[in-house]
Amino acid sequence: MKNQQHDWHHPIVSSYQNTIRQKIIGYDLIYDMMTHILHSYSTIDSILIVGAGGGQELFSLGNAFPSAHFTAIDTSKIMLQLAQKRMESVNPPPRIEWYERDFLSLKLHHRFDVASCHLVIHFIEELEQKKALLQKMADSLKDNGMLFISSINADMSALTFPLQCKYWQSSMLQNNLSEEHWLRFEQSFGTSTYPISLELLTDLLYDVGFTKVIPYFKSHMVEALVAIKKEGNK
């Protein structure tokens, strides 16, 4: 049976924003720190958001950069509806183009200053598909453009993996998630959640054309990075 927690077309995902902070300690810091980093640059005109459902990136960046133009992409209609509802509270409302599409099949007609892809890539099973997603995001950026990416990163064959799970379980239970919820999450590893190590993710980012990869957040197995595309990369 498909894990409904990770079936983004199932109505149960409507509860995503109610539980994600209980799962990921410091969840909001991923987005707050992203905006802090971007405020160190003088001009941010165009932002691509891959996996925009739920609306956290749009909410954080829309408030921080109200004059920017956003392209928001997600395959889940339910999650995009959550994002659209969340953006009703942002004033002035940012300019957003919405796409209920698979990013790899979408033709983009311009390149972006910034791309983000938070908590998405670990749901892609095949390594080549992960790389294809990273490659398209790199190709979608202007020279010196930045990708912000976060994901569950782990080597499930490592001797430390059971301890990593135990420590994360403790945090979730302390944050009032049920044991049943934790068990469903744990059972998703290898069936609907496919982490790779931080080292492998970093190598893939370099392979697709990024020349600087800088970690900026870590909470248990969740890590966030900013990757900068080299000048002149086509």
In the DSSP assignment, the letter for residue 76 is -
Domain ranges of the chain: 4-229
Q: Residue 205 carries which side chain, given as an amino acid letter?
A: L
**CA-to-CA distance for 57 and 72, rounded, in angstroms?**
10
Strands (E), the chain: 46-50, 69-74, 95-100, 112-118, 141-152, 210-219, 222-229
Domain 4-229 has CATH 3.40.50.1980: no
C-beta of residue 150 within 8 angstroms of C-beta of residue 217: yes
Q: Residue 148 carries which side chain, given as an amino acid letter?
A: F
- The SS3 call for residue 198 is helix
> Is pTM beyond 0.85 here?
yes
**CA-to-CA distance for 104 and 50, rounded, in angstroms?**
10
Question: Mean pLDDT, 10 residues at a time, over the chain (234 residues)?
Answer: 40 61 95 97 94 93 95 93 91 93 93 97 97 98 97 97 98 95 95 97 98 98 96 54
Among positive and negative, which fits the CA dihedral 71, 72, 74, 76?
Answer: negative
